[in-house]
Structure 1
Amino acid sequence: MPRYALLIEYNGAPFSGWQRQKQHPSVQQAVEEALRKLEPDCPGIGAAGRTDAGVHASGQVAHCDMTKEWDPFRLSEALNHHLKPAPVAILHAARVADDWHARFSAHERRYMFRLISRRAPLVHEAGKAWHINHPLDRDRMQAGADRLIGLHDFTTFRSTMCQADSPVKTLDEFRIEAHAIPYGTEYRFYLRARSFLHNQVRSFVGTLERVGAGSWTPQDVTTALEACDRAACGPVCPPQGLYLMGVGYADDPFASSATPT
């Protein structure tokens, strides 16, 4: 069965998350149902990572096995037709080796979190960013984030429901940008690692928001990290604002196949 990699974008607001569930809509279900409009016996798909309810993606990657050979561009076009009106789009499709796996072939994941600070409620960005109404200090937050980079036991910053075998992970990058917007500031948190624990990014951002607001110091982040205790974590921020931006592979399946114009 020929295997294809799919580069997927979605708005996570109407979904219970990526993973298929019995009684709630999921992104995986939407893509699989579109695939079965093309091939009724198409098996389930595998993804690079699971995103929670309300989390978005601009670079999720999944793989699917088809019974016949498809032109990758035609496959993406057909899937996009059948995905309507769900807020899910196949940005690119590519033929890959039979043993290529969206999850196990990946060597890094990249996330971005959007936080908007302004007095007025969000209108156009509602559901797409975390809204707060007080100012933050970007430099203080970056100083706290710097203490999380590297190899650590991240027990403090993972959900008690996390199913990972070990809390020890390496965080390769944690960068925070501040951008002036009308009547406020948008803060963007960029993170990169081979893999992440459940709720790790949201735990980081919620904790650093307290640093930026002045309730915590950067040293408090180190103290929380070294406690290896979930109770030492700061608030966990809401899922709105979290985006899976991309997945890294030794051989990018989407780099060598240009999309027709």
Structure 2
Amino acid sequence: MGHHFELHKDIELTATPEQVWAAIATGPGLDSWFMGRNNVEPREGGRSSLTMAGHTDEATVTAWEPGKRFAIRSESGPEGTFNAIEYLIEGRDQGATVLRLVQSGVLGDNWETEYEAMNAGWDMYLKTLAAYLAHFPGHSGAPVAAFRPEAGTPDQVWAAVAGALGINGPVTQGQRAQLTVDGLPPIDGVVDLAGLPTYLGVRTNNGLYRFLHSGTERGNVLVLGHHIFAPDQDLTHAEQAWQNWVSTLPIG
């Protein structure tokens, strides 16, 4: 039997309502901070899609009020499960904007684990949205994803990731992070998200690099969800290089 849920998140962003709208209601905008590759048909009743790991989820645009309100809803599944997301934009003085997010719907049998994952995931994605708008305004990022199922426990995975980034001791915001991935330019930046045991983020001059652990109940998957703003990077090559890196990262 399905379980109804509703999740609320608010964040204040250093951006205009028009900039926030472009980030949440267009494919290139969503690609710059959210998961997967996105497309949005710009009208109420239009279609939106999110493609990740070879799978595409589709939804219908249920609200289209540019600069104010954007919402989508998936089709109902066999057991009545569905997912709906609504964004509300509220302009503030001095170029700031408050974004209010409501995610609701019906989850399946393992709803508690799904809800906890969504709750933590939105914290990471909304902070990534803030970083995108603050550091890469007016630019579109390209998403690069890689996955390693059954990577290890959170402690094992984060010890390996932190070590690869040259971080010793507890991970904290502002720490310098450096990483070499075969076939890619060296990464040199700072930790801008320290949400262990769930996520870790590094910001460089041309990218937002995100590392996410799914949790033990969801298969101990190490997920990489990066956003690259370097215009000359071969994204197919970059994605393969990151997949090779995460697959061979010594863990445990």
What TM-score comes out, normalization by structure 1 length? 0.30
- Max Rg structure: 1
What TM-score comes out, normalization by structure 2 length? 0.31
More strand per residue = 2
